Amino acid sequence: MTAAQADLHIDRPEVADGAALWRLAKESGSLDLNSSYAYLLWCRDFAGTSAVARGDDGRPVGFVTGYVRPDRPGTLLVWQVAVDAAYRGRGLAARLLDALTARVAAERDLTAVETTITPGNTASERLFTSFAARHGARVEREVLFATDQFPDGPHDPEVLYRIGPLTDLPNH
């Protein structure tokens, strides 16, 4: 672990972090940007299934947002992952994802992680396939939303990655 990684603290986001999460998503260059209101609401209502990495000054430098699927209470859907450009390439996204899944698994019976990735998003593909490998889980892929299902113009398809079963998390 580098000194820069040691100075990071991963915890739950707070409403006050919403603006910073919005900026990180905007500056990512690859995420679908939601309204700033959505990030504030996310930090209020889904803090328990999301994580933020803070630098030594307390400022968010990365985040993972997620929620537990109502129809599959053992499944955590990861919505967005973003890391400040100055912190990329250091494994922070993987640390955030591991910390979040460990926390959620300690609170409930977590058996799977899902996310969607647009084709060609190599960084996300690597993040989630390496997560599966670290946890000895399979990865299943299928198109969740096709291009023609998006009403607001051209959009790449969203491919669902289902990772599981997870057997080496704290609740197992």
The reported pLDDT for the residue numbered 148 is: 94
Phi then psi for 56, rounded to 5 degrees? -65, -15
Say what the pLDDT of residue 29 is: 86
Res 154: pLDDT = 85
Tokens of 20: 């910073």
Dist CA 94 CA 33 (whole Å): 21
Question: In this predicted structure, what is the pLDDT of residue 6?
Answer: 59
Q: Is the pLDDT of residue 170 over 90?
A: no
pLDDT digits (tens, 9 = 90+) for 100-137: 999 999 999 999 999 999 999 999 999 999 999 999 99
Cα separation, 121 vs 70, whole angstroms? 27
pLDDT for the residue numbered 1 = 47
Task: Please state, in angstroms and rounded to a whole number, the distance separating the CA atoms of residues 171 and 151.
Answer: 40
Q: What angle do CA 34, 39, 43 make, to 5 degrees?
A: 155
CA-derived radius of gyration, the chain = 15
- Torsion angles phi and psi, residue 121, rounded to 5: -85, 80
Quick: pLDDT tens for 69-111. Answer: 999 999 999 999 999 999 999 999 999 999 999 999 999 999 9
**For 12-51, what is each residue's pLDDT tens digit?**
999 999 999 999 999 998 899 999 999 999 999 999 999 9
